[in-house]
Amino acid sequence: MEEWPMILNLLIRGLLFGGFLSLAACGLSLGFQLGFINASHGDMAVLAAYISWILLTTFGIDPLFSLVMVSPMMVLIGLILQKLLLNRFLLKGNMDVVLIVTFALGMCIRNSLQILFSANNRSLSQPYMVQGLSIGPLVIPLPYLIDFTIASAMFMILHLFFVKTFAGRALRAVPQNLEAAMMLGVKPETSYIYAMGIMALTQAVFGVLMGSTYVFNPNSGMAYLLLPISAIMLGGLGSLKKTFIGGLILGEILILCGYFIGSEYQLVACYLIALMLILFKPEGLLTRRS
């Protein structure tokens, strides 16, 4: 009976963490469905974390509050990037070039951050965040709850966007039948711009929250890219729901691994899972092989 509360704690934490991870995955998955791979996806989150860190250390602005400022900044950066650079290649169908360009971009971000801030770990964590909430036998670290709640709120907003707005519906339609969508007046460039906007927004929130829950450094971008990719591979492409479930599963696996094997091996576990999936079920656990 001693063991029960611990397992329960782990399972709950896994869900909370997983739900939060899904946030990083949904932007990426949207890009995938429209046909473009943003290799700098993770680095965008790190960039957001550093912007928040500057605001914290220079002006004393609380990280959670800084989200209000960092998000629009990141969205603007993303949109400029998309409009001036990436759309050029996407509209010609050069998807591979986009992969290379975003990869290079990621490297630029990483190295610039390293030069500006050194490779030391930083954290956005604030004293009021470092506590656990006790609910019966459960002890849930507050940051997990904050992360999950904010991520869920964003999911809800995204869901409404995809279901209730013309732009959102168009984004869902394009992967299903591009030519038909174009015949209805959908412009591919507009879709890409919306997708990048969503990516930038979700990554800004993800980056700042990750930064206040754990530590980060200029090279965290790799993990921030690998985790959502694994979540997407677990759940399969195609809908917010699948991405969310993939994230939940990944979260559970990571938390359980972290406890039983050690947190140094969490990313290794992630790599292994990704490898297994590529080998045996590349379309995701939730997708039926057609």
> Which residues bind to other proteins, rule: CB under 8 A?
166, 169-170, 172-173, 176-177, 179-187, 238-239
Least distance to other proteins from the beta carbon of 68, Å? Answer: 30
Least distance to other proteins from the beta carbon of 13, Å? Answer: 33
Nearest to other proteins of 181, 270 (CB atom): 181
Nearest to other proteins of 46, 170 (CB atom): 170
d(CA 141, CA 24): 20
Please state the length of the chain.
290
**Tokens standing for residue 56:** 């914290």
Q: Is the dihedral of CA 112, 116, 118, 121 positive or negative?
A: negative
CA dihedral (135, 123, 150, 145) in degrees, to 10, reads -10
Least distance to other proteins from the beta carbon of 240, Å? Answer: 12
Nearest to other proteins of 121, 176 (CB atom): 176
Contact assessment for residue 74 and residue 234, using Cβ atoms and an 8 Å cutoff = no
Least distance to other proteins from the beta carbon of 32, Å? Answer: 16
Least distance to other proteins from the beta carbon of 174, Å? Answer: 9
Nearest to other proteins of 105, 170 (CB atom): 170
Which residues are bridge partners to 133 per DSSP? 140
Share in percent of the chain as helix, strand, coil (round to 5): 80, 5, 20
Nearest to other proteins of 15, 240 (CB atom): 240
**Angle subtended at Cα 225 by Cα 156 and Cα 23, rounded to the nearest 5 degrees:** 10
Contact assessment for residue 221 and residue 42, using Cβ atoms and an 8 Å cutoff = yes
